[in-house]
Each structure stands twice: as C-alpha cells, then as structure tokens.
C-alpha cells in the first residue's frame, strides 16, 4: 500500500475479492539501497531458485482497506504528520462498493479476508537511544552553536557515506547481515521486555505469489467453492441513497460477508 491506496490491484480485487497481497523484496534495489541483508532463517517465498538467497528474502504485505484505489497523492503526504487523514480522498460510495478485506474474524469471504488486533509497539527511537527526536536531531546542534561551541555535531541516524550514524550506532553497517539480524533481535527483545505475556514472534506464512498470468483477469469466474457473499453482485449494483448523500470522509465501510464459517 502506498499513501493508503493500491490502485494497481483493482483488477485483482474485482476478480478474487480483497485478498491479502505479498511480495518478496528484490535483491537489487535502488543505487543508494543495500541489497538483501535482512533475511529469514527459513524460506519465505516460492518465487525463487531453490536454495538461493532470494528464497529467504524479506516480505512486504498488502492488507486492502476500504476504497483502495484512492489514497493520499504522493506529493500530499506529510511524513512528519502522524495525524493526517488517510481517508480524506475516499468517497462514501467507493468505500461502500469496495469495502476492503478487514473484518472481525476472517472467513475467506471476498470482503472478509483478514483480521487485525493490536499486539503492541516498540519505538525505534528507544532502540537508537534517542529520548527526544526533535532535540536530538535538530535543536541540540543549534543550541550548541548559539552557545559558541566549537565541536558541535549534527546528529544523524544514518549517513550513507559513513555507513554509520552520528550520535547513534543502531543503524551502523546497514548491509551487514549479522548487524541486520542483531537489529531484528533487538526489536524482539524490546517487545518481549515490554509485553512479557504476549508472544514476541509468530509463525509467518510463506509468500507463494509467483506472477500475474497472461489473460488471467479474463478467465471465467468460479466462486462455487468459496464462502457465500452478496458482494459479488452488490458491487455492481446502484449504491443506496444513504451512501450517495453521505460525507466524503465515510465511516468504516460495512461488510457484505454472510454469516459463514470456513471449513477446517
């Protein structure tokens, strides 16, 4: 998801419902990005040559929410504003017609494909030894120069040329696999310390996505074996008047999933 949107997945959602997406991180990134350094201990995906490092690549997932085709335009995203409204560009009709896959308990229905619960959080600033980011990164340097300091240093979490941070060492040796593994372990230890009664690690599913096949979205639909849902027909029906007159910032979209249980 980028800017709370997944416009390139529109055909997929129309064909299969709001399925959870997964993709392995490519081994060769942009020029200023490290190649694969964060790797799994066991195979993470099937789209690779068996035994190669790509089989242990990190994964990123897409959890489709309401109206996934409309999100914040890239040039409107404020990375320093945690309170920005990610749904402001989503219309009530779009959220009704494309409700996303989140629901209370996933059943496998097209609009009930995943459930989310809050497990906890660990702040990277704590792991980096930063008490107040604004002071550490910004004001501390200017306070030092204003006081006539001769050894004032601008703190940086990471400098590409140094391959190290200034004022913190957490991100040093960015492409070193041992250093990357220790960073992951540091997060796990911090989570276990903060939430001793909560599992700090759960089994991760293997990503079995390989490709979009030529002509795939033109194949005949077959939902006979799936969980019954009226969404397949309602998504093409006229929206109710209450939806058409609703404000642009719509509340959480209702689910069309019928009461059903997935066969075990």
pLDDT, greater one: 197 or 254? 197
The number of beta carbons lying within 10 Å of the beta carbon of residue 183 is: 19
- Examine the pLDDT at 259 and tell me if it is beyond 50: no
Sequence-ordered list of residues with C-beta below 8 angstroms from that of 180, at least 6 positions apart, any chain? 37, 38, 39, 174
**pLDDT value at position 70?**
84
What DSSP designation does 24 have? E
Contact 200, 191 (CB under 8 A): yes
Q: What percent of the chain has pLDDT over 90?
A: 43
Split at pLDDT 50, 70, 90, the class of 261 is very low
Count of CA atoms in the C-beta half-sphere (13 A) of 229: 25
- Examine the pLDDT at 201 and tell me if it is beyond 90: no
Nearest Cα neighbor of 40 from 190, 256, 203 is 203
- pLDDT one-digit tens code per residue, 9-67: 788 898 999 999 998 987 654 444 555 688 899 999 998 999 888 899 999 899 999 99
What DSSP designation does 139 have? I
% helix, strand, coil for the chain, step of 5: 25, 10, 65
Q: In terms of residues, how long is the chain?
A: 264
Strand partners, 166: 156
Nearest Cα neighbor of 46 from 38, 37, 57, 35 is 57
How far apart are the C-alpha atoms of 256 and 204, rounded to whole Å? 28
Query: In this predicted structure, which of 214-218, 237-241, 249-253 has the lowest mean pLDDT?
Result: 249-253
Coil, helix or strand for 76? helix
Angstrom CA distances, 155 to 141, 142, 149, stand at 8, 11, 15
Supply the mean pLDDT for the chain: 83
What average pLDDT does the segment 138-154 reach?
89
How far apart are the C-alpha atoms of 242 and 244, rounded to whole Å? 6
The number of beta carbons lying within 10 Å of the beta carbon of residue 79 is: 6
- pLDDT one-digit tens code per residue, 210-226: 888 888 888 998 887 88
The overall pTM is greater than 0.85: no
How far apart are the C-alpha atoms of 242 and 69, rounded to whole Å? 22
């Amino acid at each position: 998801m980028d800017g709370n949107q997944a416009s390139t997945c529109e055909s997929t959602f129309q064909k299969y419902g709001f399925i959870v997406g997964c993709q392995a991180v490519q081994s060769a990134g942009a020029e200023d990005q490290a190649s694969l350094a964060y790797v799994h201990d066991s195979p993470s995906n099937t789209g690779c040559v068996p035994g190669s490092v790509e089989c242990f690549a990190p994964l990123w997932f897409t959890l489709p929410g309401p109206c996934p085709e409309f999100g914040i335009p890239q040039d409107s995203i404020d990375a320093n504003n945690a309170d920005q409204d990610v749904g402001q560009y989503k219309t009530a009709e779009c959220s009704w017609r494309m409700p996303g896959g989140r629901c209370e308990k996933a059943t496998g229905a097209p609009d009930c494909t995943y459930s989310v619960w809050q497990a906890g959080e660990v702040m990277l600033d704590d792991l980096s030894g930063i008490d107040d980011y604004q002071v550490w990164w910004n004001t501390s340097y200017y306070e030092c120069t204003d006081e006539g300091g001769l050894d004032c240093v601008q703190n940086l979490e990471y400098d590409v040329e140094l391959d190290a941070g200034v004022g913190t060492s957490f991100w040093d040796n960015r492409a070193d696999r041992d250093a990357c593994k220790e960073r992951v372990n540091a997060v796990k230890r911090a989570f276990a310390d903060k939430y001793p009664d909560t599992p700090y690690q759960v089994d991760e599913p293997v990503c079995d996505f390989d490709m979009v096949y030529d002509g795939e979205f033109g194949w005949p639909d077959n939902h006979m074996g799936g969980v019954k849902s009226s969404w397949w027909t309602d998504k093409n029906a006229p929206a109710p008047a209450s939806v058409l007159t609703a404000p642009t910032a719509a509340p959480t979209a209702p689910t069309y999933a019928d009461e059903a249980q997935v066969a075990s």
